[in-house]
């Protein structure tokens, strides 16, 4: 180690709290993060923030709250992220890739070599919606008592932050850490999905009146293989060529 909290991943792993209801949980999450060297906090449409209760619960981590990014929509918190991992207390019917906490932490630290990455936490009562989960590469469920599996939000943040800390301290880094062919950002993938959907409608493959699960399946495919920025550009190029062909008489 070259110094406390020196790993570059600590500044590239963003903890995203979606729709948090209790400001105390935001403060406690900031404290949990700081104990494990994480310091990038994004808040998507928090019910009450800033709030004295958040500051009180943060104790010595009020600096994280002051620097926290507050945005109205999840997409804005994820736009530049190369890997997005969601957390969920429940197994979902969505059939999305599921990673265990340790594996997810390693993947996040590794992927942070290419740029920002995100770990997303849901609302206290209802967690994350399916539409929000579909923006993520994988889900993490902290294995717990099957009859009482929902951790307090800040406790879940603490546990994941510890795994990230352990992974960062263990993984090699230095010159070899930077990634020369970074994976596509969340924003680039969203543009790809919009383009793909438009082209599929255009060529008559996707019936907008009866879309079934097609776009969800294609999303899952693309997110699973984590294409690089360059690969997404190739796919966009192919779609543009198809559109061009369609336009010709």
Q: Which residues bind ligand SAH (CB under 6 A)?
A: 87-90, 121-122, 124, 126-128, 140-142, 144, 149-151, 153, 156
Give the pairing of strands 13-18 and 84-87. unpaired
SS3 48: coil
| Min dist. Cβ of residue 154 to ligand SAH (A) | 9
Beta strands in 3-104 (DSSP E): 13-18, 40-44, 69-71, 84-87, 98-99
How far from 193 is each of 73, 189, 197, 209, 244, CA to CA, in Å? 18, 6, 6, 18, 18
CA distance 48 to 26: 10
If the CB atoms of residues 75 and 202 are measured against ligand SAH, the closer one turns out to be: 75
If the CB atoms of residues 48 and 191 are measured against ligand SAH, the closer one turns out to be: 48
| Min dist. Cβ of residue 123 to ligand SAH (A) | 6
CA-nearest of 4, 43, 217, 35 to 123 is 43
Phi/psi of residue 14, nearest 5 degrees: -100, 130
| Min dist. Cβ of residue 132 to ligand SAH (A) | 10
| Min dist. Cβ of residue 238 to ligand SAH (A) | 36
If the CB atoms of residues 126 and 213 are measured against ligand SAH, the closer one turns out to be: 126
| Min dist. Cβ of residue 100 to ligand SAH (A) | 10
Q: Two tokens at 12? A: 């590239």
If the CB atoms of residues 66 and 100 are measured against ligand SAH, the closer one turns out to be: 100
| Min dist. Cβ of residue 127 to ligand SAH (A) | 2
| Min dist. Cβ of residue 80 to ligand SAH (A) | 21
If the CB atoms of residues 35 and 150 are measured against ligand SAH, the closer one turns out to be: 150
Task: Concatenate the DSSP letters of all residues of 158-182 into one string.
Answer: HHHHHHHHHHHHHS--SGGGS-SSP
If the CB atoms of residues 158 and 199 are measured against ligand SAH, the closer one turns out to be: 158
If the CB atoms of residues 124 and 243 are measured against ligand SAH, the closer one turns out to be: 124
| Orientation angle between helical segments 23-35 and 153-170, nearest 10 degrees | 20
Phi/psi of residue 19, nearest 5 degrees: 55, 35
């Amino acid at each position: 180690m070259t110094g406390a909290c020196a790993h570059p991943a600590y500044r590239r792993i963003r903890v995203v709290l979606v729709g948090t209801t209790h400001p105390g949980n935001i403060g406690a999450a900031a404290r949990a993060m700081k104990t494990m060297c994480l310091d990038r906090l994004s808040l998507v449409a928090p019910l009450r923030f800033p709030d004295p209760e958040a500051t009180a619960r943060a104790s010595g981590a009020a600096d994280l709250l002051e620097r926290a990014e507050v945005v109205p929509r999840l997409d804005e918190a994820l736009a530049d992220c190369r890997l997005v991992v969601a957390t969920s207390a429940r197994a979902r019917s969505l059939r999305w890739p599921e990673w265990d906490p340790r594996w997810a932490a390693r993947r996040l630290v590794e992927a942070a070599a290419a740029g920002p990455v995100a770990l997303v936490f849901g609302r206290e009562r209802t967690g994350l919606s399916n539409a929000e989960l579909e923006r993520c590469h994988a889900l993490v469920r902290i294995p717990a008592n099957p009859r009482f599996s929902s951790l307090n939000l800040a406790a879940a943040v603490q546990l994941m932050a510890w795994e990230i800390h352990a992974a960062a301290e263990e993984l090699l880094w230095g010159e070899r850490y930077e990634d020369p062919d970074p994976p596509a950002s969340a924003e680039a993938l969203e543009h790809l999905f919009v383009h793909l959907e438009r082209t599929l409608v255009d060529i008559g493959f996707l019936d907008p009146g009866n879309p079934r699960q097609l776009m969800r399946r294609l999303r899952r495919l693309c997110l699973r293989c984590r294409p690089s920025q360059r690969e997404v550009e190739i796919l966009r190029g192919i779609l543009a060529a198809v559109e061009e062909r369609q336009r010709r008489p």
